[in-house]
Amino acid sequence: MIQRVDSKVDADTTIYLFSHGSTGVEGILRIDIDGYIMSLFVQEEARGKGIGTELMQTAFAVLREIGKSTVGLSVHHDNHRARALYERLGFLPYMPGHDGYTQFVKVL
């Protein structure tokens, strides 16, 4: 089950998506309303079960719902598992970032 929680601090809104399983929270995704995925985390014991994919697909739906047409994120070049997930979901690298990170973008 995916739970959405919106958090507003001053003028900034962050949307949290929580994936709940039999052991509690198994994954968390955090996005800002500008269409940037700030973080994705899946508990180690829950990896490989499609939780990251489900959280990302839910994030895409939320972003479309608020009128966004693209989504961006950054990932470290050593994080091969995350890069594979993002590329499988249609993200394309478009700009090398700082400290070994690459910016990715996807059209929704």
Domain of 94, CATH number, reads: 3.40.630.30
Expressed as residue numbers, the domain containing 29 is 2-107
What is the C-alpha to C-alpha distance for residues 26 and 42, in angstroms, rounded to an integer? 6
Confidence of residue 12 (pLDDT cuts 50, 70, 90): confident
Q: For 49-94, what is each residue's pLDDT tens digit?
A: 999 999 999 999 999 999 999 999 999 999 999 999 999 999 999 8
- Predicted confidence at residue 52, as pLDDT, reads 97
Torsion (CA) 66, 30, 53, 61 in degrees, nearest 10: -10
Q: What is the count of structural domains for the chain?
A: 1
Residue 69 C-alpha from the chain's centroid: 15
